[in-house]
Amino acid sequence: MTRWLAALRGAADASDHTLSAYQRDLSGFLGFLTSHWGEPLGAAHLGDATVRDVRSWMARLNANGLSPRSAARSLSAVKSFYRWLAEVEGIECPAILAARAPKAAPRLPRPVEAKAAAAMVDFATSDHSETWIAARDAAILTLLWGSGMRISEALGLNRRDAPLPESLRITGKGGKQRIAPVLPAARDAVDEYLALCPYKGGPDTPLFLGARGKRLNPRMAQKTMERARLALGLPATATPHALRHSFATHLLEAGGDLRAIQELLGHASLSTTQVYTGVDQARLMEVYDKAQRRR
């Protein structure tokens, strides 16, 4: 398992979070086989798993309350391990690779409405007694909403990136690069924050700093969103990542091209971006239902 995880880190550039999830999923499967077969599991037996074994494991996951989507992710991790096992160790198990994941209903993104997003930015401007920290938090939220960046991507920016241009080259998941637009409001908000920030540094200094002058932890941005949604009565889905969803859905509502939005978000597959059309359709149906009730 250790060598497989190391191979994933090297070849696929998987994140620590992904590797931890894969390790938990595979450990759960191997632990299940040990108890299911009633004997210690050795490397020689790894290829003996049958379709029935996999189905029993999936049934156990379901009985434990795991969602179909999470169960499918677990199976994906196990398949990844077995593909590596066949290639490196010569231990093959067709039953594992042929196993089908449970079907999961498509999960629609939950963006923050435009008015709510603007209200959250306004809240951040006065949320902290330190003026520069309030300006920093407002700049981060504005940047997420106005560029479609992930929180890790925004907080990974350095001083050399400022003043922010009209577009930035961003390195996202898996080391893939894309061009992210930066709206004027986001550029202005970052400029205001930098003008107030008491810490100065060179080009390699983090752009967004914490109170002690170190690179800002994503948890601090999440806490700002938590306070904002509590104060504004917004749902728990109003997270920093929801602002990325807002960027995409608001572009789509304004007539943006789906392929262009895919490139701006850095999605590998257009099918990933197509989920936003479901959000748009859901809103149309909501407006239609309200109109019908008024009639």
Question: Please, are residues 79 and 97 in contact by the beta-carbon 8 Å criterion?
Answer: yes
Question: 230-234 — which CB contacts under 8 Å span 24+ positions?
Answer: 231/123, 232/116, 232/119, 232/120, 232/123, 234/112, 234/116, 234/120
Residue in the block written with tokens 């107030």:
196
Whether residue 150 lies in the annotated active site: yes
Whether residue 173 lies in the annotated active site: yes
Cα 104 to chain centroid, rounded: 18
Q: Which of 136, 229, 244, 250 is catalytic?
A: 244
Whether residue 17 lies in the annotated active site: no
Q: Which secondary-structure segment (H or E) carries 178?
A: strand 177-181
Q: Who's near 195: CB < 8 A, 6+ residues apart? A: none
List, in sequence order, every residue forming a beta bridge with 209; answer none if it has no partner.
215
Cα 255 to chain centroid, rounded: 25
Question: Please, are residues 78 and 29 in contact by the beta-carbon 8 Å criterion?
Answer: yes
Q: Which two tokens stand for residue 145?
A: 């909403």
Q: Which of 22, 136, 150, 250 is catalytic?
A: 150
Q: Which of 9, 45, 173, 283 is catalytic?
A: 173
Give the Cα separation of 167 and 110 in Å (integer): 25
First vs last C-alpha separation in the chain? 62
Q: Which of 187, 229, 241, 250 is catalytic?
A: 241
Q: Indicate which residues carry an active-site annotation.
A: 150, 173, 241, 244, 267, 276
